[in-house]
Chains A and B, each alone.
Chain A
């Protein structure tokens, strides 16, 4: 538990280190040298173990699950210390990187500034609670897209001819020494149809859906799609031959193949969620031999309704999520959750997560967050301060007022909000009325203890320094 204060004395030569990460440069004040006092690790942090296991003066990263070394290599060694969370060695982390580990609140130390999930879905992270605690949760949209898309393609083909049944049959025949004798006769049990000329319907047209649609067009399919939240930038990625439909029911009604590529949001569709969104009312619109591909989340599909469909027609269900009702259905093909299980995707997701964390820790930039608003204040000037507060009236005024009362000039700032949370990035001229010396210790305490503020950071000096939290009315720094 650190009780010393860290006085960061800044000379011109130190400036590039503090602000040059990720290629940003200091403008305007480059020729000035100044001293900035920041607190770090003053008492009363809850300690989750031996704080000395993390190196001083570095950003501390804790990982859960096996994260790709190529991705972790994005954290340069001089500024980052990366440890595995399993085994209790990594404590008091500044940021958490994980894959599918189910994160518990008690594994999130008070010192955590950010959490990044290597993957698209964040169902394994208690996101609303993290929002309350002022901790942004990041994901890696698109990093897995190619891996998932290739598996969807595989799934479409596995749903077109009885390939897996055929392979298993060949093993049976092989065990009896009858393979060559029986193959031509028996193969008729496993034939089917081609993709070419058929219609694929893609529900959800993000990275994975768009990529799937493009490939399907290349393979000679007609493609329709549905996505109520389709943005201009997403639309630019779609094949122009796609027919956009105005509801799920109309989209699926003419489809030979249907791919689900939407996120899982808790709650029924009536409640605004996507649980069981493919239920009997949608399935009733399926063609009798439609192939449903679910490489998004198991709970999007109502298994019992799907079972009835599979029982009554020649349709197929192909998914990489386990299903208690369908795991042994002759018309279902259930893979393990392999959608992102390629070396390339693991590297890409880890690298993207690492860069996201770095950008947040070093510049205060927020991108790819599932709970915080997208925020970027380019070209840092002076000393950068970030403030996380509850999204309620009057906060911004109070924060800026605090700076004004301290006679600190705000050079530039940005404020964004999303749901219950708001986020501010403020660059101040560190020269107060004292000339080149400013102590931000009291300012930080004052800002952080404002009613409604959750935490603040001063991005300056020693990596990892300058984080202050207002928790249960107590001040931690």
Chain B
């Protein structure tokens, strides 16, 4: 709850802050704008919000300091989840399994430092109008290097050999026995072999490029291959038209697809590498799974490993295969490098900043990619259910308030739609407009989920309709 004097203070400070953020200067009337901030209805002690005048970022797991440094300290307050009495505007996390109860009503956005978002209840967040972001590509080099390691670990019995050398060492027999015993651990080379890459996004494409440089033949399968992704592929790659045809000639197979709940028949990817696919494997094939454990049907894999000289190399635990002599199970280290942690945290931070400060949506797993370039005016964002007529109602509300829309964009994705609207804050009477009632009216429209006015004190201007009630 802000008093007039503090409001004026905020406005002046906000003006200079906004002028510096993202490089866009706005020339505005000198009269203050009226935005409600945390008036009644919030079940909180609002003074913590109004005093700080910062965007609040809450972190789960240990997030890289280099990444968190992307949040300028004068605009952002970053606290770990253990910090009491901290109401987040945004959440940054790694693999913490996020519960709905941990998501404050004040949360505008959630960013996961990593590729998969299985640890976030995304569908529920969409209902609540909260975009969930990930960091596609930030981990790619780290995962790719581990896939490469996995290919080599699946080619000679390196780990068995290392453990054998420790046994011999403890008996003082290493030098005596190494030449004789090494024949138990030999194998083959990558060069000249065929690698099939299932899924040709950042990681798959990078893996394909490196394998080709190591002298391998590459084939791949990706039904959703975009032009942008294709440009990253080695030109020697053979694109196949099904998983079965891709794997049938492959000596090595790398899985680089997302985990989507549901069987393949249902449109998901659970157990997508099942008996019918594995039946097409060469008997000496090495399957590399550095994507998600549940993509592979463990029982079918076990039968394959029992009956052939194939290998399964993965960085996901597997109850059926953890002690199989032809399986190599790593801990989930795909993204466990300092570089990837820094890159993912930095990307997540920039994504959050971009959303909070300009309303831009990029790298979201549930919201549509949306970007409206900066210009003069006051920016308002509206999240609504994707159903007919809502956009018309929103724009009509602005029209009735006699507010000129300078530019706007509307995007939808699945059940959600997102609008970014820049308005001329000067009404037809030459006066600066009171946006309090406008915001309430827009937000309470049937189908609207929340709205934000990106102006003034950082962190202010967020309004939510929840269970028919208005929170601002």
Contacts and interface: CB of A to CB of B under 8 A. Distances in A.
A32 interface: no
Interface stretch (B235-243, B332-340, B381-389): B332-340
B152 A150 contact: yes
Nearest to B176: A322
B468 interface: no
A379 interface: no
A188 interface: yes
B186 interface: yes
Interface in A166-181: 166-171, 173-175, 179-180
B162 A341 contact: no
A173 to B, nearest CB: 8
A343 interface: yes
B158 A335 contact: yes
A167 B330 CA distance: 5
Interface string B140-169: 011001101100110110110111111011
A194 B148 CA distance: 12
B214 interface: yes
B95 interface: yes
How many of chain A's residues touch chain B, expressed as a range?
A: 35 or more
A187 interface: yes
Contact of A322 (B165, B183, B191, B329): B165
Contact of B141 (A153, A194, A327): A194
Given A174-B323, A328-B169, A164 B142 contact: no
Contacts of A147: 189
Interface string B106-137: 00000000000000000000000000000000
Given A150-B152, A322-B169, A161 B189 contact: no
Interface residues of B, number: 58
Nearest to B184: A336
A337 B164 CA distance: 12
Contact of B332 (A100, A183, A323, A328): A183
Interface string B165-191: 110111000110011011101111111
Given A179-B317, A188-B336, A322-B165, A157 B156 contact: no
A100 to B, nearest CB: 5
Contact of A187 (B149, B182, B336): B336
B152 A153 contact: yes
A154 B163 contact: no
B317 A183 contact: yes
Interface in A333-366: 333-338, 341-345
Contact of A183 (B146, B164, B165, B331): B331
Given A170-B330, A324-B174, A335 B188 contact: no
Contacts of B182: 336-338, 341
Contacts of B145: 157, 160, 194-196, 219
A115 interface: no
B188 A343 contact: yes
A100 B329 contact: no
B319 interface: yes
B331 A170 contact: yes
Given A151-B152, A163-B330, A191-B333, A345 B189 contact: yes
B322 interface: yes
Nearest to A99: B179
Contacts of A14: none
A246 interface: no
Interface in A185-239: 186-188, 190-197, 215, 218-220
A337 B179 contact: yes
A158 interface: yes
Contacts of B181: 336
25 contacts: A150-B191, A150-B214, A158-B158, A166-B331, A167-B159, A168-B163, A174-B323, A179-B319, A184-B332, A187-B336, A190-B333, A192-B336, A193-B339, A196-B141, A321-B178, A327-B169, A327-B174, A328-B170, A334-B166, A335-B162, A336-B162, A338-B182, A338-B186, A342-B186, A342-B189
